[in-house]
Amino acid sequence: MTLQEEILRRRTFAIIAHPDAGKTTLTEKLLLFGGAIHVAGAVKSNKIRKSATSDFMEIERQRGISVATSVMGFEYKDVKINILDTPGHEDFAEDTYRTLTAVDSVIIVIDGAKGVEAQTRKLMEVCRMRKTPVIVFINKLDRPCKEPFDLLDEVERELKIGVRPLAFPISSGTTFKGVYNLYEHNISLFTSDERLTADASTVEIEDISQPVLNDYIGEKFANQLREDVELVEGVYDAFDREAYLRGEVAPVFFGSAVNNFGVRELLECFIRIAPSPRPSTTESRPINPDEAKMSGFIFKIHANMDPNHRDRIAFMKICSGVFERNKNYLHVRSGKQLKFSSPTAFMAEKKSVIDFAYPGDIVGLHDTGTFKIGDSFSEGEKLKFTGIPSFSPELFRYIENADPMKFKQLAKGVDQLMDEGVAQLFTSNLNGRKIIGTVGQLQFEVIQYRLEHEYGAKCRWEPISIYKACWIESDNAEQLADFKRRKHTNMAVDKHGRDVFLADTSYALALAQENFKDIRFYFTSEF
């Protein structure tokens, strides 16, 4: 296959949602229909002791939430699909924002009973900023839900995007019968309770005006469906793929991921309409996927994919050319040539070594502490990919060693977890104490849990009063030195040795900005 053909058959997308909208369950059912797994693990069911395939960290299994982005790839009808399942919890939003830099389209999952929630709106803002095409999947129709037309209006109003339903539900809650596919003009009715595999029996009805529909779902529901479909076709414009690719219109699907309803329709339509890999932006020029030379960037680092080996894996998105195993590539930040003997492809925590990867693919690189989020690789050109943010933390704690015998383990654990981008480490200039800054409270629990269970180190948190951490830079060396001297008690350095000002109040920060005009204060560390 030529490079162009490989690019055209790839779809790389993220699944995003508010916590508990059913995102991980949908991911799993897509893998099920794609043949990548054969039995689904109910995410929170105690009857089935399997956890969701994509939630592979122990803390995720215990809490039933995703706290790290998982990468999964599979083939479906000769299309190579790469799914990135992201954390929904807002305390891990930073990981999700970074993941959105590595995908070409997005599926947003919405709970049919709750409608559009706060975190969904925030994530949609990021998609809008990047003009990322969006498909909406309204989930949990096996429970009592809002009216479908009300939900469509709410999506349009709250997410500020045009909508076009491509599937429509037949009732909801206990009387939920199935989904009519408006894109293919056929209907799938599940007639068995087989929920954990993909071979539930379906009935195909080509034309909903046929009386045979009444036999399957009853006259009342059949008439309601005919009315609803007529209304949809009358109210909404025909689906315009170009408008979808520009991020102006979101196709909407309905279903129940846990019961397999509507998932096949979503997958079938997705592989037809979703974009193949698109150009990437760098500081110097746009990079087209079909360029001959390989380029890519690291958008995530994950420690302890295998707790037995303490390994770290850097996730690299291939942006152009063909990535080859054992070939030298320039690590732009260090200027060194590196080659990778065992690059991996993923199926959640299962890994397989690959020889080639193409634009849109996500490759795992073994990392001994060399890489940082945002690092670029190329065949010689000094590229710096843009738009991979690291935000200023909002919550701060001193981290203290709770077991003096495990000092080394704690230091190594903190070092590796900070490289993942889950939190940021600052060392105080005043007393040398280590301060952890996070975006959300839950991250402190996750760090503590992972230090103990993955590194055998115990830590405790102590309070510290900090309003904001901001990175500082200046071309006026004298003023910078004066600032650091005066603010000595509030100065720290981050993991990369950059100066950070830890302002204890908003007033102190405003005063510092006013009195030291030549100093630049940054609230994201992408500078």
DSSP string of 51-112? Answer: PPTT--SHHHHHHTS--S-EEEEEEETTEEEEEEE---SGGGHHHHHHHGGG-SEEEEEEET
What is the reported pLDDT for 510?
92
Please indicate, yes or no, whether residues 354 and 236 belong to a single structural domain of this protein.
no
* Per-residue pLDDT at 90 exceeds 80: no
Please indicate, yes or no, whether residues 24 and 114 belong to a single structural domain of this protein.
yes
What is the reported pLDDT for 296?
92
Please indicate, yes or no, whether residues 265 and 299 belong to a single structural domain of this protein.
no
pLDDT in tens, 211-237: 877 877 788 888 888 898 889 888 888
Backbone angles phi and psi of 373, in degrees to 5? -65, 130
What is the reported pLDDT for 322?
93
Please indicate, yes or no, whether residues 334 and 223 belong to a single structural domain of this protein.
no
* Position 442 in a domain: yes
Please indicate, yes or no, whether residues 120 and 193 belong to a single structural domain of this protein.
yes
Is residue 151 within 8 A of residue 112, CB to CB? The reply is yes
pLDDT in tens, 336-365: 999 998 888 876 446 678 888 999 998 888
* Position 90 in a domain: no
What is the reported pLDDT for 91?
47
Confidence bin at 150 (pLDDT 50/70/90): very high
pLDDT in tens, 454-494: 888 999 999 999 998 988 999 999 999 999 999 999 999 98
Please indicate, yes or no, whether residues 355 and 420 belong to a single structural domain of this protein.
no
* Position 85 in a domain: no
- Of 226, 253, 273, the last residue of a domain is 273
Q: Mean pLDDT across the stretch 327-334?
A: 91
Instruction: Report the share of the chain in percent with pLDDT over 70.
Output: 83
* Per-residue pLDDT at 67 exceeds 50: no
- Nearest CA to 388 among 283, 481, 287? 283
What is the reported pLDDT for 476?
92
Average pLDDT, the chain: 81
Please indicate, yes or no, whether residues 174 and 298 belong to a single structural domain of this protein.
no
Is residue 8 within 8 A of residue 276, CB to CB? The reply is yes
Please indicate, yes or no, whether residues 207 and 245 belong to a single structural domain of this protein.
yes
Query: What single string gives the DSSP state of each residue in 278-307?
Result: --EEBSS-EE-TT-SS-EEEEEEEEE-SST
* Per-residue pLDDT at 45 exceeds 50: no
Confidence bin at 307 (pLDDT 50/70/90): low
Q: Mean pLDDT across the stretch 297-307?
A: 71
Please indicate, yes or no, whether residues 296 and 315 belong to a single structural domain of this protein.
yes
Instruction: Report the share of the chain in percent with pLDDT over 90.
Output: 29
Task: Output the domain CATH number for residue 442.
Answer: 3.30.70.3280
* Per-residue pLDDT at 433 exceeds 60: yes
* Position 138 in a domain: yes
What does the buried/exposed string (b/e) look like for 42-69 if buried means 16 or more CB atoms within 10 Å of the residue's CB? bbeeeeeeebbbbbbbebbbebebbbbb
Alpha-helical runs (H) found in 23-57: 23-33
* Per-residue pLDDT at 396 exceeds 90: yes
Q: Can you give the residue range of the structural domain that contains 299?
A: 280-378
Query: Which residues fall within 8 angstroms of residue 49, CB to CB, at 6 or more apart?
Result: none
Confidence bin at 94 (pLDDT 50/70/90): low
The least confident of 61-65, 365-369, 473-477 is 61-65
Which whole-number Å values give the CA distances from 404 to 400, 401, 407, 411, 464, in the listed order?
10, 6, 6, 11, 22
Please indicate, yes or no, whether residues 480 and 432 belong to a single structural domain of this protein.
yes
Given the DSSP bridges, would you call strands 134-139 and 362-367 parallel, antiparallel or unpaired?
unpaired
Burial level of 237, CB count in 10 A (0-12/13-18/19+)?
Answer: exposed
- Of 228, 251, 273, the last residue of a domain is 273
What is the reported pLDDT for 144?
87
What does the buried/exposed string (b/e) look like for 479-509 if buried means 16 or more CB atoms within 10 Å of the residue's CB? ebeebbeebeebbbebeeeebbbbbeeeebb
- 3-state DSSP call for residue 315? strand
**Gap between the Cα atoms of 53 and 349, Å rounded:** 8
What is the reported pLDDT for 173?
80
Q: Mean pLDDT across the stretch 311-319?
A: 84
Query: What single string gives the DSSP state of each residue in 448-477?
Result: HHHHHHHH---EEEEE---SEEEEEEES-H
What is the reported pLDDT for 472?
92
* Per-residue pLDDT at 210 exceeds 90: no
- Of 320, 346, 378, the last residue of a domain is 378
* Per-residue pLDDT at 138 exceeds 80: yes
Please indicate, yes or no, whether residues 127 and 232 belong to a single structural domain of this protein.
yes
* Position 172 in a domain: yes
CA angle, 186 then 133 then 180, to 5°: 15
Confidence bin at 134 (pLDDT 50/70/90): very high
* Position 389 in a domain: no
Confidence bin at 51 (pLDDT 50/70/90): very low
What is the reported pLDDT for 95?
66
Please indicate, yes or no, whether residues 256 and 123 belong to a single structural domain of this protein.
yes
**Gap between the Cα atoms of 362 and 13, Å rounded:** 11
* Position 386 in a domain: no
Is residue 523 within 8 A of residue 470, CB to CB? The reply is yes
Q: What's the structural domain count of the chain? A: 3
* Per-residue pLDDT at 61 exceeds 60: no
Task: Output the domain CATH number for residue 50.
Answer: 3.40.50.300
363 vs 94 pLDDT, higher one: 363
Q: Mean pLDDT across the stretch 360-377?
A: 85
* Position 30 in a domain: yes
The least confident of 171-185, 272-286, 326-340, 433-447 is 171-185
Query: Which residues fall within 8 angstroms of residue 233, CB to CB, at 6 or more apart?
Result: 182
